[in-house]
Amino acid sequence: MMSEQTELTVKHGFSSVNVTLTRFLRQGLVPILLLAELVFFAIAAPGFLAPNNLANILVNAADIGLVAAGVTLVVLVGGIDVSVGNMVGVVAWVAVSLTTSGMPIVVVVPAAVLLGAILGAINGSLVALGKVPAIIATLGMAAIYRMVLFLLWDKTDLFTGPLISWLGPLARVGPIPNAALLTLGVFILLAWVLRYTVFGRRIYAIGNDPESARLLGVPVARTILFAYIIVGVLVGLAAIVYAGRLGVVQSNAGNDLTLPAIAAVLLGGTSILGGSGGVLKTLTGLAFIVVLQNGIVLLGVPSLLSGVMVGSALIIAVATDVLTRRVLDAKRRISL
């Protein structure tokens, strides 16, 4: 009969294997899949490695990346924002409308950022102050923003060139688009904020245990509200890039940004349960998604398949994240 000590050793060994495996799935699988898809598309998709196509991938990643960087913050505090794409649509419409009416760009850009911040503040107030579950609050606001854009549209598309010339699809520093450099700069700034500032430490503390954070004196509601406002600010910047990249704002503007942005965050390794991850990890998930979208187009596969694959990857990422948390919790219980 197995002794108690032997049984405990077996449990510890089994738990260690599970922890190692789940951590690999959570942190190491997406980089491997990214490398695999790069090799696959380089072989199977004509022109994938052409400089212009690689530049297009970076341009397409810019607006999604700006939104994903902001979403990372709200996921870290244990929240979510499924209205970001619709927010981009509303802000893009207002920004293009102001531009076509003759408003100077030095006014349009701050106005877009301010409007994004206001929309983010509305979402954050519902979650942080109103205590409405984040998924419910932002899902409801997504429907409202979608209706607002539809009313603004009024069966008339707005056509535009780049709102800011140096952020246009063809504006580059060497082979690298300026819009991609802006997005990378935002990621680096937010990574510094999360690592070295009080606000960053509060983000992680709230994500790990909001009640304990509150007892330690962390202003939980204010921090969550500010995280959603940052999302709104980045939505404002993303709307400028988005409108200039597509050259038109329609009634469905921004609808194609929400899923990729959230998927980039979760695929990168930020936990849907909050408290673990970071914006630099989101870059890996972002790269996986934009390369996948580009490669599918080059192969002539219906774009609908891209959404199916991104959605499937998102489900796998969330399931792996939850499994990892359960295994780690089980290991702690065994250790006790």
Average pLDDT of the chain to the nearest whole number: 88
Give mean pLDDT, residues 106-114: 96
Mean pLDDT, residues 128-153: 96
| Confidence at 29, pLDDT banded by 50, 70, 90 | confident
Residue labelled with tokens 């789940």: 22
pLDDT in the model for residue 151: 95
* Per-residue model confidence (pLDDT) at position 314: 82
- CA distance linking residue 15 with residue 82, whole number of Å: 35
Per DSSP, the three-state class of 172 is strand
Name 158's bridge partners.
249
pLDDT at residue 9 greater than cutoff 50: no
* pLDDT for res 309: 82
Phi/psi of residue 248, nearest 5 degrees: -155, 145
pLDDT computed for residue 123 by the predictor: 98
Tokens of 179: 């819009």
* Percentage helix, strand, coil for the chain under 3-state DSSP, each rounded to 5: 75, 0, 20
Q: Assess contact for 134 and 81: CB atoms under 8 A.
A: yes
**Chain segment 57-107, per-residue pLDDT in tens:** 999 999 999 999 999 999 999 999 999 999 999 999 999 999 999 999 999
| pLDDT value for 54 | 94
Place 132 in a pLDDT band, splitting at 50, 70 and 90: very high
pLDDT at 18: 57
Looking at residue 304, what is its pLDDT? 74
DSSP assignment string, 135-158:
HHHHHHHHHHHHHHHHHHHTT--E
Q: Read off the pLDDT of each residue in 298-305 and give the average, rounded to a whole number.
A: 82
Q: Give the mean model confidence (pLDDT) for residues 234-251.
A: 94
> Is the Cβ–Cβ distance between 242 and 261 less than 8 Å?
no
The answer to whether residues 88 and 239 touch, using CB atoms and an 8 Å cutoff, is yes
Give percent of the chain with pLDDT exceeding 90: 69
Q: Which pLDDT does position 30 carry in this prediction?
A: 83
Between CA 117 and CA 161, with CA 251 as vertex, the angle to 5 degrees is 75
What pLDDT sits at residue 233?
Answer: 98
In which band, very low, low, confident or very high, does the pLDDT at 324 lie, cut at 50, 70 and 90?
confident
pLDDT of residue 82: 97
**Average pLDDT of span 213-242:** 96
CB 162 within 8 A of CB 41: no
* pLDDT for the residue 169: 86
pLDDT higher than 50, residue 6: no
